[in-house]
Amino acid sequence: MKHKWIFAFIGGLALGGSVGTYAGAKMMYKRSHEAMVKVEEELNNLLFSLKEAEKKEEEEAVVEEPEEEFGSELKAFPVDLGPAYAVPVEHTPAFKSSIVYTIPFDDFETEPDFESEVLFYYPESGDVTDDQHVPIAKAKLTEMIGRDALTHFDEYEEDPDCVRVKNDTMKTYFEILRYYTSP
């Protein structure tokens, strides 16, 4: 009889320790993931602002031709900043882990714990509606699909009137369908 209590006590300790370790690991993973997302968001904002500053500097930089001296053949040439500045910021791998971004058709609904919603875009009026054709406020829309999602129509041959967006914060996939008639 005494052995049963000892085995039950040892089994309870092992089970309790296992459950506690598992729960602690899950909580730490969630906290570290949230911290990583915040850091990535700040980094993305910093990189976007740096890119905007570089664009302004390029626009303001005027290449002046030197004064000709005694038949000099010198000409001013535009400065080539190299291939790193030729790539649009939105398509660099560093921004793939941002909170809201457009995705290719093959990546749509690949995560089972994400929800899926359909939105409708009317280019004539500029309105975006939910699946019941109720207009969505601009501020909420920016939270849902980001600022530039509506500029990505006609990018995919599979369906040029469809853009797919993944929102990591809301854990939702948005499928935006372009409609040419009024809501």
Q: What is the pLDDT of residues 168-177, one digit of tens each?
A: 888 899 999 9
Cβ neighbors of 156 (< 8 A, separation 6 or more) are 104, 105, 162
> What is the rounded distance in angstroms from the CA atom of residue 107 to the CA atom of residue 77?
43
Query: Is 11 contained in some domain?
Result: yes
The pLDDT tens digits for 114-165 are: 899 999 999 888 889 998 989 999 889 888 998 888 888 888 888 888 999 9
Q: State how many domains the chain has.
A: 2
Binning pLDDT at 50, 70 and 90, where does residue 95 land?
very low
Long-range contacts of 54-62 (CB under 8 A, 24+ apart): 54/85
Nearest to 104 by CA among 16, 11, 166, 18: 166
Residue type, 25: A
**Cα 48 from Cα 94, distance rounded (Å):** 11
pTM of the model: 0.45
- 35 vs 105: CA distance, rounded Å: 29
Residue 46 neighbours by CB distance under 10 Å: 10
Sign of the CA dihedral running 155, 161, 164, 165: positive
Is 74 found in the same domain as 18? Answer: yes
Domain membership flag for residue 125: yes
Q: Containing domain of residue 103, as a range?
A: 99-178
Does one domain contain both 2 and 74? yes
Does residue 130 lie within any of the structural domains? yes
Tell whether 72 and 15 lie within a shared domain: yes
CA–chain centroid gap for 17, Å, is: 39
Task: Indicate whether 44 and 109 sit together in one domain.
Answer: no
90 is a domain residue: no
